[in-house]
Amino acid sequence: MIDVQAVTLKLNGVRLEPLAPAHAPGLRAAAEDGQIWKLRVTWVPGPEQVDDYIGAALAMPNRLAFAVIDDDSGVVMGTTSYHDIMLEIDRVEIGHTWYAKSRQRSGVNTSCKLMLLSHAFNTLGCEVVGLRTDNLNHASQAAIERLGAHKDGVIRHHAARRDGSVRDTVVYSILRCEWHGIESALRDRLQLRAGA
């Protein structure tokens, strides 16, 4: 049975550390970068909602939230989480992920996913890692598919969007037996040596 504990992870100039109230100013700046809280297809807090967002993330059962930080400058670039942690079947999901607009398509997401997936499979001993996204969030679907995740299907009429409409959710997974090939591909994409 997996045992998910707070941990700090570092790779490729990106640091994941457990989310805390002290990250609020950095998350506000990240949300303001591109005004990404206005996007319909993902839930990003507006600057005035960041404190409540952090409080909710920390209070949510079966979630371990991280601040995504530039390891050189200390700038908070966004957030991501393990969530829907199911200890009894060795499963976690990765989600609640968003980055400042200027950090998107920069390698930050690939670095974060490699860290979280490596920790899940190589350290925690997960048998499967899930990911999910809004059916209208085509950029997120493409990013998940570039990871090599398997598209499991769509849960129809699954969750409310901020604007009150209801989204369908696209669900993906990576099995332990698929991880080695995916890990190699992600390391190649980031031009990292094994063990780095």
pLDDT tens-digit profile of 123-172? Answer: 999 999 999 999 999 989 999 999 999 999 999 999 998 888 999 999 99
pLDDT tens-digit profile of 65-106? Answer: 999 999 999 999 999 999 999 999 999 999 999 999 888 877
- Token match 């609640």: residue? 96
Cβ(78)–Cβ(31) below 8 Å: no
**Closest of 170, 108, 112 to residue 140, by C-alpha:** 170
**Closest of 121, 119, 19 to residue 67, by C-alpha:** 19
pTM value > 0.75: yes
